Each structure stands twice: as C-alpha cells, then as structure tokens.
C-alpha cells in the first residue's frame, strides 16, 4: 500500500542532480514545509518548526528541474510518501521523508508572491440570462 501526498513548500537548497552509471538521472530537492501554528490563550499564534522533506524526480525531468529550480523557490510536490533510512555522517542511523515518483510544479521564485489566478468575474443570474438570450438571438429565454 502506498501513501500519496501533495504538499507546498520552499526549497532549502539548490537541487542536487545525480547521474548513475546506467545513465539514469535523479534530482533531489529539499523542501521546508510549514506546519500550522498553535493558537495561544491571548489569540496569538506560535509557529511550529518546519518539516524537511526530500523530493525525488527521475528521468528527463531531473535535469530540467536541476537547471530551472533554485533555493527559495516555492514548489508544489505530489507523489508517494516514503520513509527512508540512512547512516548519518557521525555513524548514527537517520530517517527522512521522501516524496518519490514526484510531479513538481514551481509556483514562485524567492521574493515573488505566489501567482494567483485572476478572480472570476461575478455574474448575476439576470446578467447570465441576458447573455444567453443575446447568444440565442432573442430578447427572451425560451424556457
């Protein structure tokens, strides 16, 4: 069984591209994911520490991401969540969360606000009915 995840966060470092003897490429992205804060009795909020998640992209996309993505970019990552174990530099065991088989989208560069879709125009029922009547070539709606 797999666990699918979609998360948004900022890259904490430039992407790392690895090329293997087989010619396959893997791009690893390290992203900081902000958690919801804790509300205090006085109504203020205290931020929780960020989670660090690795995102792995393989194949043709790997080289493109390594070139186009940079530290601080806001990204959206979707894929299978895995827990991987490894040995730290000091010899102790470690674990990390990895979004594998990921589809990644860049939402904004550092210093840019997240790009938002322009708001849809608000149309009243009467305006919509009049537009339909005009499209049908008459003044009245035939129902």
**Whole-structure pTM value:** 0.67
Residue ranges in the chain assigned as alpha helix (H): 60-68, 125-136
Domains and CATH numbers, the chain: 3-136 (2.40.50.140)
- State pLDDT tens for residues 64-115: 999 999 999 999 999 999 999 999 999 999 999 999 988 899 998 777 665 5
Residue 129: what pLDDT?
Answer: 47
How far, in Å, are 9, 21, 62, 108 from residue 112 at the CA level?
14, 38, 24, 6
């Amino acid at each position: 069984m797999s666990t699918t995840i979609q998360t948004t966060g900022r890259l904490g470092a430039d992407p790392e591209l690895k090329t293997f003897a087989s010619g396959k490429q893997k791009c690893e992205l390290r992203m900081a994911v902000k958690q919801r804060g804790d509300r205090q009795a006085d109504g203020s909020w205290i931020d929780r520490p960020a989670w660090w998640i690795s995102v792995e992209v393989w194949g043709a996309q790997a080289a493109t991401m390594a070139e186009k993505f940079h530290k601080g970019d806001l990204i959206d990552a979707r894929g299978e969540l895995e827990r991987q174990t490894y040995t730290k530099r000091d010899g102790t065991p470690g674990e990390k969360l990895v979004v594998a088989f990921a589809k990644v989208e860049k939402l904004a560069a550092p210093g840019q606000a997240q790009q938002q879709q322009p708001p849809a125009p608000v149309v009243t029922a009467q305006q919509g009915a009049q537009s339909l009547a005009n499209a049908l070539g008459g003044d009245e709606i035939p129902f």
